[in-house]
Amino acid sequence: MAERVRIFQHPDSLLVGHVRNLIERAGIPCELRNWMLAGGMGDLAPIDCEPELWVAPHNAERAEAVIAQWRRGDALAEGLPDWQCPVCGEAHEGVFDRCWQCGGSRPERE
């Protein structure tokens, strides 16, 4: 298996999943580890059971920049336009890719 670098770890699996989505949206492939180890706590140290994100070494700097941008709250400043669901007409902010009302996808950007 190719060498990987851990770039993010947190006890909240939903937060790890969100960061994974941000990284993959930036075009950086990442690997999720320890997603299901919470049941091992007690036999294993809690920190060893936390979900982790790993990337190839050549992608680490870019992935860490995405995480730093998210931590600063700049993720909303990506300049993505607001959009309207083509299925049900619900209005959404640019950071969302799916309609919360009907599950429809954001229209392709031109």
One domain for residues 70 and 87: no
**Residues of the chain scoring pLDDT < 70:** 1-2, 36-49, 74-79, 109-110
One domain for residues 11 and 32: yes
pLDDT digits (tens, 9 = 90+) for 55-84: 999 999 999 998 988 888 764 545 577 889
One domain for residues 20 and 67: yes
Domains of the chain: total: 2
Q: Supply the range of the domain harboring residue 86.
A: 79-110
One domain for residues 74 and 91: no
One domain for residues 55 and 104: no
One domain for residues 66 and 98: no
In terms of pTM, does the model score above 0.75?
A: no
DSSP the chain: ----EEEEE-S-HHHHHHHHHHHHHTT---EEESTTGGGGBTTB-GGGGS-EEEE-GGGHHHHHHHHHHHHHTGGGGG-PPPEE-TTT--EE-TT-SB-TTT-PBPPPP-
One domain for residues 40 and 83: no
